[in-house]
Structure 1
């Protein structure tokens, strides 16, 4: 029987695999980019490295994670750390792309280079943010709700007033899921849907 537990060192390969297999608007992104490792180095591993206390997994019978929720309590502080300490290790591997390139890998690499250059647009009211992914065998069984409840309970205990996330607009099932949990839509760029929820009383924004 799967169970939710805190992230532990050694879970990183499983987190990277989950991230890759759900990165294309919820579908498997293997081979979508020239380098599959890019997804996890942007959207999973730095979260567990910086804030393991806000990282929770659903582990299977063999204790290997099959899903996760990863959060940070202060998005701007996390982005500053990411820009100064995490991403520079990859400058040679993934150099800054030419401005205006629409190649998908260039767009994703550009996210890495741009993170932390400007304040997050949602951090003033929803300072925390999260990423959540589940492998297909766990989907539709309530694990997503339980993971988010686990994270938001931890953030609320630590006095964090709100949390946001940004979903691919193509992933309509995920957007509907977040809205059922009480997240409400925030102003968003084309192609994505940002959603947030307040945590001081558990009520949506």
Structure 2
């Protein structure tokens, strides 16, 4: 297995991998429209900060990827990326996404009434870098994920960033265990994620950090 930086020649294969890499996880899909989801969690990284994108390769095929930013303050926020994807893909006119957003509005109102924290971008100058990682089901347990995170953190340190954060779901227990094993620590309380469901239940965002 090889861990290396993304090249433009990887883009088509990486796009295809993104549609299957999260299979079985609570974040497998947000609203059932892969193209718009890639416009939020994949394409901006390939276009704006390709030097911070790493891939795992086995027998000539991509098996996983990690995208991230060294300085999140200089990268479009998740809210900005989501707003643009909603507009560009006219998601409110699509049945699946429209149902998701209607549920998200109801969830947001319920969280405010109960005074629960809600998911959102994390800002702390001590942990300016952030990452998202996906590994194909067949490559889980092979060391691909550890290799991707290790290469990214080396990149972050070389760039002079003091720390890195990520956001996962408490319901994704496999991910929480993995991130803990590679040195990330939970910070803050889990926050409600409007609209998203896993096994019919609401899910909660957990921020985790690691000093570099």
TM above 0.5:
yes
Deviations along 1:55-99, one digit per CA (max 9) or x if unpaired, are: 11012323x321011110111210269948x964762423579xx
- The total of aligned residue pairs comes to 182
Segments of structure 2 that go 5 or more residues without pairing to the other structure are 105-119, 193-203
User: Cα RMSD over matched residues?
Assistant: 3.1
1:69 matches 2:66: yes
| 2:22–2:137 Cα contact (<8 Å) kept | no
| 2:22–2:136 Cα contact (<8 Å) kept | no
The structure, 1 or 2, with the larger RCO (C-alpha pairs under 8 Å, 6+ apart) is 2
Measured after TM superposition, the shift of residue 106 of structure 1 is 6.2
1:93 matches 2:89: yes
Closer/same/farther in 2, CA of residues 8 and 178 from structure 1, 3 Å limit: same
Alignment of 1:1-205 (within 5 A): 2-23=1-22, 26=25, 29=28, 33-62=31-60, 64-79=61-76, 83=80, 88=84, 91-94=87-90, 103-104=99-100, 120-187=121-188, 188-190=190-192, 191-199=204-212
Identify the structure with the greater strand proportion.
Answer: 2
Closer/same/farther in 2, CA of residues 47 and 92 from structure 1, 3 Å limit: closer
With normalisation by structure 1, the TM-score equals 0.75
